[in-house]
Structure 1
Amino acid sequence: MQLQYNEFLIRPWEPRDRAAAADAIARVLAEYGLPWEPTGADSDVLNVERCYQKVGGEFWVVEHHGKIVGTAAYYPIARGNNAAEIRKMYLLPQVRGLGLGRFLLQQLERAIEAANFQEIWIETASVLHQAVRLYESCGYQPATGVETPRCDRVYVKTNLL
């Protein structure tokens, strides 16, 4: 799987991406005053093979001129009904506002539906205003049961594409 969006290449994560993907996520979190948690909420970024690839999920990186400028991922979860959770959807500030986030979300939804999941869950933090607006504008409904300490919102979507 490789996708193109304008000058951006979206491709599956490779082991050589580990440090750059983690750095991009840590930079976005810091921008919003959220902690990078390598032994907690972000340990999956350092263990993509085990946390995504071996369990039926996917982890993508977004490249612009050979540099990683974003990430997006999903994996199966136990809550809900045959559900997947979108995780680690982060874009560096210089590539926001170009429609890339909406495109990534739509592509994740397509991949999740193609994998025969019936629900999509997303956890986020209220300070990520653009993400909250994106999820709500794309049909995600507020739910309960936040599981990640730095998050205070959870959304679910059951009517896939």
Structure 2
Amino acid sequence: MHTSFKSFVIRDWQPADRGAAADLIGKILADYGLGWEPEGADVDVVQVEQYYQSGEFWVVEQGGTLVGTAAYRPIERGEQAVEIRKMYLLPVARGQGLGRFLLGQLEGAIAARGFKQIWLETATVLKEAVCMYESAGYQQATGVETSRCDRVYTKSINQVS
């Protein structure tokens, strides 16, 4: 992956991004009163190579500074399904359509690889994310697996626009 949106560059994660990506996600979680869990829910950020061998992990830069992340990986639940994970943007990158653009890019990459279903988990406190997912056609489901999350959504690939 290598594309741009306005002044943002979206590219594949590199090992040199590990610290900055972890710091960014930890900061955003803290801003919403959620905990950074490097040995739990966030182990995939610490061990990207292991967790995203069959998926993709992207970073978003602006002026050479990391301002966001987005990823997906295959999962067992659902039918030929993936889970969108680690979609986080710093405040400086919000409110410009970047989140919706990233979601569309993820959906396109997932569809191109032949997956049939997308799942994601989030927390009610992440109001902007909840709004974006619902307006993008994600349907609330049951079966939250991440302790800090209280919402799970799913979308069939044939619903991807």
Share of identical aligned residues, percent? 64
SS of the aligned residue for 1:111 comes to helix
Is residue 118–residue 160 contact of structure 1 (8 Å, CA) maintained in 2? no
Report the AA paired with residue 29 of structure 1.
L
The answer on whether the counterparts of 1:125 and 1:152 sit within 8 Å (CA) in structure 2 is yes
Distance 1:121 1:129 in 2: 18
Separation of aligned partners in 1, 2:92 and 2:143: 33
- Superposed, 1:8-19 pairs within 5 Å as 8-19=8-19
Match of 2:39 in 1: 39
Checking the alignment, whether the CA contact within 8 Å between 1:119 and 1:160 is kept in structure 2 is no
The correspondence for 1:147, drawn from 129, 145, 148, is 145
Structure 1: distance between partners of 2:94 and 2:115: 28
Hey, what does 1:72 align to over in structure 2?
70
Equivalent residue of 2:92, what SS?
Answer: helix
Instruction: Give 1:160 deviation, angstroms.
Output: 2.7
- Deviating 4+ runs (over 4 angstroms): none
Deviation of 1:82 (Å): 0.4
TM-score (structure 2 length as normaliser)? 0.98
TM-score, structure 1 as length reference: 0.98
State the aligned residue count: 159
For 2:131, the aligned partner's letter is R
RMSD: 0.6
1:119-152 deviation digits (Å, cap 9, x = unpaired): 0001000000000000000000000000000000
- 2:79 aligns to what? 81
